[in-house]
Chain A
Amino acid sequence: MNPMPSSRRVRDLEERVAQLESEIAELRRHHLRVAELADVMTELVLPLADRDPDRVERAIAAFNASL
């Protein structure tokens, strides 16, 4: 038997649903963030490891032109 009055229980559940929704949205937003970071890593950071400054400049210009 739940001792809580039903109106209070409904309110609590509503709050819980809203929290869960926002937690799920937070997790879903990681997809785009991870995609962006992976893209930056493979397309920008790796080319920057090159020691030739001209090639680094070209890599940065190519990355910016690709967005």
Chain B
Amino acid sequence: MEREWRPVVPHRLARRLGARLRVRAVDLDGLELTVRGPDRVVDVLFDGRRIWSFWVVRDTHGQFGLRRRVAWPDRMLRFLDGRSRVEIVEHVTGVRLFEREVAFTDADRRVAFRNPRGLEISLDKSGRFSPTFSGRGDQVASLLDAMEEVVAALAELGVTAFPAWGTLLGAVREQGLLGHDSDADLAYLSSYQVPVDVARESFRLQRALNARGFSTYRYSGAAFRIQVTESDGATRGLDLFAAFFDHDRLYVMGEVGADYRREWLWPLSTCRIADREFAAPARPEKLLEASYGLGWRVPDPAFKFTTPRDVTRRLDAWFRGTAPHRADWERALAGRPRLRTGPSALARLVHSEVPAGVTVLDIGVGHGRDAWWWARQGRAVIGYDYVPRAAATALQQAEEAGHPLTLRSLNLTELRSVLGEGAWISRRPGPRVVVARHLLDATTATGRDHLARFASMALRRGGRLYADFALETPTDAAGSRAGLDADEVASLLEEHGGRVLSTATVADGDTAGPVARLTAEWR
């Protein structure tokens, strides 16, 4: 793949002067290098273990002359406490450019990159910390077991899955798994040619795998993750991507759209990963070329996709938008929940206005601070979220104390989830109230429309909706929070059969800027 980043010194000149790559300094601020010649990828090792990789030109900033600087990735900073033996190694040649004991702080400890479960982690190519395969032979075996299990289950459904993306790359280039990768990818060639059918087939496969006891997680209309729990308790994902031909163009979710010959894919051949055999495209190198460009043979743990815009636009419109901002919310909600900080003002209002015995449906429950509080007041609460595990602590505490809190999954940006859960809740007996605190301003226009639909289904036999939302776009909020027009929200609810009882502007202790508080009623 042609790179858009140019070397500081033209290659021809560098050949005459001699290519040079020197590490000048490593400290808490980052690394300083001298770079001449072509761009290269280097690995950064802490106490002998690779944590991060970067391109010496692409990912650094020029200072003066040949000097370049790069700061540590933000996510690494919190780990840089104490000392470590830091090595900088050229990834392809293995040449060691730097090796020194570095004290990042005065603390008398070794820098340790471990997750809360104590597992060793490193940055993968998407810049996230995750347990990596390197040096974990038993883990490699259990991941390969999981791959075989999923491949077998798919074969029973008439689908031949083969390693794709980094997993295919590892198989072809190293007959193994890439050490810097953190998950395994599978793809299958859809028997359909039209996106609507490709999406329906993907739904069918997910449904069938769920019925076989796999836990899954949908990314888009053409890709979902199959969660596999390994022997050490770590959860790893096998991502399953649809590939399909539109005439002579092959699309592979989520980055490939290229002119492609059928005989390059079909009939399938085989590839090896460690001691296992998997199916592979007839000419895997052609798929790798379409996935990673002509440079795929050269290892690049810091690879960045440069997908053509028209391909991204097609895949976005055909398949994406079913879980916007979910990854951001998973990160934002990953920390320890603070339940005992007291309820929100809206939670108190709802509790004071709504008679006892009315169930609260808390949509966008998050950590469950309000839900837990209502449940402690003896109110039945159903907490809904598309990141439901964030409220697991609240649920556990409520269950231990015998408080009536339930968690259910609801994805407002996936129509099937809204209609399925709407059908379920509409059949539950008893009065209820729907609460959406800072939800309308956190989701998309589709999500807002679906919230109104869900409320109309949940409150079919009558009941109220309470909603707080920001009127101005805050500058520091998580996700994509955007200020809304209160009149537009009111019209939306009325389109779905609601009657707006009141709208007011309030100051919310948790949110900067004015907040609208709206109540609507279905009768």
* Per-residue B-contact encoding for A20-31, CB less than 8 Å = 1, 0 else: 010011001111
Write 12 A-B pairs (CB below 8 A) sorted by A numbering: A24-B317, A28-B195, A29-B317, A31-B318, A32-B321, A33-B415, A38-B200, A40-B415, A60-B420, A64-B424, A66-B211, A67-B420
User: Out of B196, B317, B319, B416, which one reaches A67, CB within 8 Å?
Assistant: B416
Does the CB pair B194–A64 fall under 8 Å? Answer: no
Query: Which residues of chain A come closer than 8 Å to B389, judged between CB atoms?
Result: none
Kindly identify which residue among B199, B409, B427 contacts A35, using a CB–CB cutoff of 8 Å: B199
Q: Are A39 and B203 in contact (CB under 8 A)?
A: yes
Give Cα A15 to B258, complex, Å: 28
| Distance of A32 Cα from B320 Cα, bound (Å) | 8
A19 CA to B465 CA, complexed, in Å? 37
| Contact partners of B415 in chain A: CB under 8 A | 33, 36-37, 40
Q: Tell me, in angstroms, the Cα distance from A56 to B505 when the chains sit together.
A: 43
> Which residue of the partner chain B has the closest CB to A56?
B427
Closest CB-CB distance, B206 to chain A, in whole Å? 7
Known interface pairs A25-B313, A67-B420; A32-B427 also in contact (CB < 8 Å): no
Contact A39 B218 (CB under 8 A): no
Question: How far does the alpha carbon of A65 sit from the alpha carbon of B213 in the complex, in Å?
Answer: 10
* Cβ contact within 8 Å between A32 and B319: yes
- Distance between Cα atoms of A29 and B196 in the complex (Å): 10
Q: Which residues of B contact A (CB under 8 A)?
A: 194-197, 199-200, 203, 206-207, 210-211, 218, 221, 313-314, 316-319, 321-322, 409, 411, 414-417, 419-421, 423-424, 427
Q: How far is it, in angstroms, between the C-alpha of A56 and the C-alpha of B424 when the chains are bound?
A: 10
For A28, list chain B residues within 8 Å (CB): 195, 314, 317-318
Chain B minimum-CB-distance residue to A66: B207
A44-B420, A67-B420 known; A35 vs B203 contact (CB < 8 Å): yes
Distance in Å: Cβ of B318 to nearest Cβ of chain A: 5
Other-chain residue from A31, A43, A48, A66 in contact with B221 (beta carbon distance below 8 A): A31
In the assembled complex, the Cα of A13 lies from the Cα of B210 at a distance in Å of: 49
Contact flag A66-B424 (CB < 8 Å), given A29-B317, A32-B199, A40-B416:
no
CB distance from B186 to the nearest CB of A (A): 20
**Chain B residues within 8 Å of A35, by CB:** 195-197, 199-200, 203, 221
Categorize the interface residue count of chain A. 20 to 34
Give CA–CA (A49, B196) in the complex, Å.
Answer: 25
B199 engages A67 (CB within 8 Å): no
Q: Known contacts A44-B419, A60-B424, A63-B420; decide if A32 and B313 are in contact (CB<8 Å).
A: no
State the Cβ distance, A28 to closest chain B Cβ, in Å.
3
Chain A residues lying within 8 Å of B427, measured Cβ to Cβ, are 56-57, 60
**Is there contact, CB below 8 Å, between A36 and B317?**
no
Tell whether A46 is near chain B: CB-to-CB under 8 Å.
no
Interchain nearest-CB distance for B169 vs A (Å): 29
Minimum C-beta distance from A30 to chain B (A): 8
In whole Å, how far is B354's beta carbon from the nearest beta carbon of chain A?
26
Q: If the complex has contacts A25-B313, A28-B318, A29-B317, are A39 and B200 also in contact, measured as CB distance less than 8 A?
A: yes
Name the residue of chain B whose CB is nearest to the CB of A65.
B210
Give the residues in chain A near B314, CB-CB below 8 Å: 28
In whole angstroms, what is the CA distance A64 to B421 when docked?
Answer: 7
Q: A24, A34, A48, A64: which has the most chain B beta carbons within 10 Å?
A: A64
Please give, as numbers and ranges, the residues of chain A lying within 8 Å of B316 by CB-CB distance: 25
B residues near A24, Cβ cutoff 8 Å:
317
Is residue A61 within 8 Å, beta carbon to beta carbon, of the partner chain? Answer: yes
Contact between chains at A36 and B195 (CB < 8 Å): no
Separation of A61 and B420 alpha carbons in the complex (Å):
8
B199 contacts across to A, CB distance below 8 A:
31-32, 35-36
- A31 vs B203: C-alpha distance when bound (angstroms): 13
Q: Which of A25, A31, A48, A65 contacts B194 (CB 8 A)?
A: A31
Whether A66 contacts B210 in the complex (CB less than 8 A), given A35-B199, A35-B203, A36-B414, comes out as yes
**CB neighbours of A61 from chain B (8 A):** 424
Interchain nearest-CB distance for B352 vs A (Å): 33
Shortest C-beta distance, B421 to chain A (Å), equals 6
- Asked whether, in the complex, the Cβ of A44 is within 8 Å of the Cβ of B195, the reply is no
Instruction: Decide: A60 and B423 in contact? CB cutoff 8 A.
Output: yes
Question: A44 touches which one: B194, B206, B313, B423 (CB < 8 A)?
Answer: B423
Q: When chains A and B are docked, how far (Å) is the Cα of A36 from the Cα of B313?
A: 20
Please name 17 further chain A to chain B contacts, defined as beta carbons within 8 Å, in addition to the given A25-B316, A31-B195, A32-B321, sorted by A numbering.
Answer: A29-B318, A31-B194, A31-B318, A32-B196, A32-B319, A35-B197, A35-B199, A36-B415, A38-B200, A44-B416, A44-B423, A60-B427, A61-B424, A64-B417, A67-B218, A67-B411, A67-B417
C-alpha spacing A21/B427, complex, angstroms = 43
Across the interface, which residues of A come within 8 angstroms of B321, CB to CB? 29, 32
Inter-chain contacts of A25 with B (CB < 8 A): 313, 316-317
CA–CA, A63 and B75, complex, Å? 38
The answer to whether A64 touches B420, judged by C-beta atoms less than 8 angstroms apart, is: yes
Q: Which of B195, B196, B316 has most chain A Cβ within 10 Å?
A: B196
B318 to chain A: which residues have CB within 8 Å?
Answer: 28-29, 31-32
- Tell whether A39 pairs with B196 under 8 Å between CB atoms, given A28-B314, A32-B321, A61-B424: no
